[in-house]
Homo-oligomer: A and B are copies of this chain.
Amino acid sequence: MPEQPTTEPRRSTLVLVAERAGVSIASVSRVLNGQPASPQLAERVRRAADELGYVPDASARTLKTGRTDQLALAVADLGNPVYVKMMHEVARVAAKNGYRLVLSSTGSDADDQIELLNSLNRGFADGLLLSPLRVTDELVAALQASRIPAVVIGSLPPEAGVDSVRADSVAGVGLAVEHLVAAGRHRIAFVNGPVDTVPGAARLEGYLRAIDRLGLATTADLQIAASDFTYKAGRKAASRLLQQCSPDAIVCANDLIAVAALKELAARGLRVPEDVAVVGMDDSEAAELADPGLTSVNLGSAKRARTAAKLLIRRLENPGADAQTVTIEPTLTVRESTLAAGGEARA
């Protein structure tokens, strides 16, 4: 039994509420926004609003005030647990400060991010958080020209003049390699993500520097780059790696790739950590869920996300301030995948 199609109840507006309460629309607006009013008037307004099921219209308010009370978070790959973690943190900070969070999933290209920025310039959000994999000059330019302030979670050229919160990937990979060396590993391989991404480049540098600093050797055989930061690509890369060399440890550019390496090793009958130790990066839920538990470099993604959100909110309140760059230091979370070579394996 469908309702009468014509008698649509017409959403209530300030005018309707005002009429019902017998006051002016200005008074309604004031009361509903918590501005001073006499108790009786306030009471009548609230009653009328309740009875009418009044809900203020967002677009009208935004048009008038220029504010949306929304923060946008652009994430390139929601399949990656790191972004999920970041999202949670941002959502918390946003909510605490009276902002709603709108998620925009984008592709991984800088172009996608630019398109998103344009879309945001139509006024959907008051500010933007984004964590770009690839940073081009165009992206930086778009960021600078943006109508709304943006904070980048990741590394940016310092002269960009855009707020950013970066992880120290170089130090992070160093932590991993040092840990492996301390555990008695020597032939340390590296499965990277795409080198033309910001994190990819940084992690490769970290690997090479650590190998060098610790007086180890590496060869081209020991290094490989997956085509992206996903499990599937990681699996392929790990397979090729194990065809071309026999490491006693593998450092992976993120946890998804590390899980892939774990699977690939198992498929080849290699034991972890006895035969090969594995380290991931991001210390995401995937590291905890993996079997064996995955030692992982915590790049502070949660803290970065929180910090970025706070930075953005601060900038919204104070648009004139100079751009900041914050760096979060990495730590290492040790799990079963890197137990020392002197453990059970020796028995």
A-side interface residues toward B, CB under 8 Å?
2, 5, 11, 53, 55-60, 62-63, 68, 78-79, 81, 84, 87-88, 91, 100-105, 118-119, 121-124, 145, 147, 231, 259, 262-263, 266, 285-286, 288-291, 319-320, 322
Contacts and interface: CB of A to CB of B under 8 A. Distances in A.
B53 A57 contact: no
Contacts of A291: 262-263, 266, 290-291
A105 B91 contact: yes
B55 A59 contact: no
A290 to B, nearest CB: 8
Integer count of this chain's copies in the complex: 2
Dominant SS among interface residues on chain A: mixed
Nearest to A292: B266
A-B pairs with the 8 shortest C-beta distances?
A103-B103, A59-B62, A58-B122, A59-B59, A59-B63, A102-B102, A55-B121, A58-B123
A210 B57 CA distance: 50
Contact of A2 (B78, B91, B266, B322): B322
A50 to B, nearest CB: 13
Nearest to A91: B105
Contacts of A285: 79, 231
Chain B CB within 10 Å — which of A59, A147, A286 has the most?
A: A59
Given A59-B60, A79-B285, 4 more contacts: A59-B123, A78-B88, A100-B104, A263-B289
Given A78-B87, A102-B102, A105-B91, A123 B289 contact: no
A231 B81 CA distance: 13
Contacts of A60: 59, 63
Contacts of A55: 118, 121-122, 147
Nearest to A65: B59
A320 B4 CA distance: 9
A189 to B, nearest CB: 20
Contacts of A68: 59
A188 to B, nearest CB: 23
B57 A122 contact: yes
A315 B289 CA distance: 41
7 contacts: A5-B319, A55-B122, A58-B123, A60-B63, A78-B88, A100-B104, A102-B104
A266 B262 CA distance: 16
B320 A2 contact: yes
A345 to B, nearest CB: 18
A100 to B, nearest CB: 7
A63 B57 contact: yes
Contacts of A259: 289
Given A62-B59, A103-B103, A145-B53, A231 B78 contact: no
Contacts of A2: 320, 322
A320 B5 contact: yes
Contacts of A84: 78-79, 84
A127 to B, nearest CB: 15
Contacts of A121: 55
A5 B124 CA distance: 24
A83 to B, nearest CB: 9
A158 to B, nearest CB: 14
